[in-house]
Amino acid sequence: MKYKQIHTSQLDKNNLYLKMKSNAESSHLSKRASRISGLGAIHALNKAKQLEQEGYDIIHLEAGELDHDTPQHIIQSAKRSLYDGKTRYTSTQGTLTLRESVACHIYSSRNVSCSPSDVIITPGVKSGIFFTILAIIDPGDEVIIQDPSFPSYSAITSLAEGKPIMWSQSPASGYNYDIDKLSSLINPKTKLIILNDPANPTGNIMKKSTIESIAELAIKNDLWVLTDEIYSQLYFDGIVPYSILSVPSMKDRTILLDGFSKTYAMTGWRLGYGIYPQRLIEPVCSLMLNNHSCIPEFIQDAGIAALNGPQHFVEQLRTELSNRRMLVCETITKARNLSCHTPSGALYVMIDISKTHSPEAISFTEGLLSSGVSLLPGTMISENCTSQVRLAYTVAKPILSTALQRIESFVN
């Protein structure tokens, strides 16, 4: 299908990228609302979808949503639960059956023993991040966050009146993790370290030695560690992520968050879980009770089917994503004035555009959108990624090939 050319003037007419500033500056809204903004990927997606509605052919590579449908056995489990009348309130912490399934999964995937009483079922990992930070952080507390990373970490920290402290991983180093730099950021105000492994947006997976060094710093300085492992099953080349929860003596200071969105193509189901130290169970559940009461039981039954059912979908997905990743990296590496580091996991490739005719991330993505491809500007993830864009390889290889051809044509 040929794409309709988009004129730059049309993009400027309703430039969503340049309208990120929150309307919360209005005197009618709270200061709290002014401290938080929307996710860049959603803004980029909405802009591209708006152009699609106007008749333009856009290939979406901006958001981390798979092109797969949820496996049928998971859907059927939810349907059975609905027909069985499972539509009433449940425990805020989650049903015992799902918490037992999660505990078994954590043991089989991380070799960590935990009790169902250590598990909290959440409406997605993002909510787990939200309630965990609210339960831990007081005004003025400092939270160390990987940079670049998922923007919600900083946004929620600011909402809790904490101070985000960015642990920078430079593009020039391949986004490597500098433990000495991390150590230098820790001071008496530091309360929490947030990890994301495999990482969004870099796709990096931390070495076991790096994880152990972080654990050593956390123990030495009496810090909490929140590890977001939503991409835990999306790893390549046999490089299996090592969870900091697996480190001896870390269980009482680590919150592990994971979920179903990426692994089982369940983004719209809003289902996640956390492994918590016992001293956090009651405060986190109290926050949840006053927010959403509980997770629908038929949704939780779908989670049970996902964890306990056949896993060939996950295995096939991992292989397919690895192949897409290599197509992207091989094409970008050969392309004129583009470069990237090959990720070991997750769904993304960070592309360096510093040598192109449009080396600034927002102008590059705006221009590329006129060629029918939507990427995420690096500046919507980190202020240090001014010459990087994120590509999510979440579409089939034929479509991905077309997108890569359009990118090459635009750059050339």
d(CA 175, CA 278): 34
DSSP state of 345: B
% of the chain exceeding 70 in pLDDT = 92
SS3 14: coil
List the CATH code of the domain at 88-308. Answer: 3.40.640.10
For the domain made up of 8-64+313-411, the CATH class stated in words is alpha beta
- Residue 1 pLDDT class (50, 70, 90 cuts): very low
Q: E strands, 132-201, where?
A: 142-147, 163-168, 190-196
Q: What is the mean pLDDT of the chain?
A: 92
The ranges assigned to domains in the chain are 8-64+313-411, 88-308
Q: What is the pTM of this model?
A: 0.92
Each residue's pLDDT tens digit, 55-68: 788 999 999 999 99
**The pLDDT value given to residue 51:** 72
Reply yes or no on whether the pLDDT at 16 is more than 50: no
Are 334 and 343 in contact, with CB atoms under 8 Å apart? no
Task: For residue 268, count CB atoms less than 10 angstroms from its CB and return exposed for 0-12, middle for 13-18, buried for 19 or more.
Answer: exposed
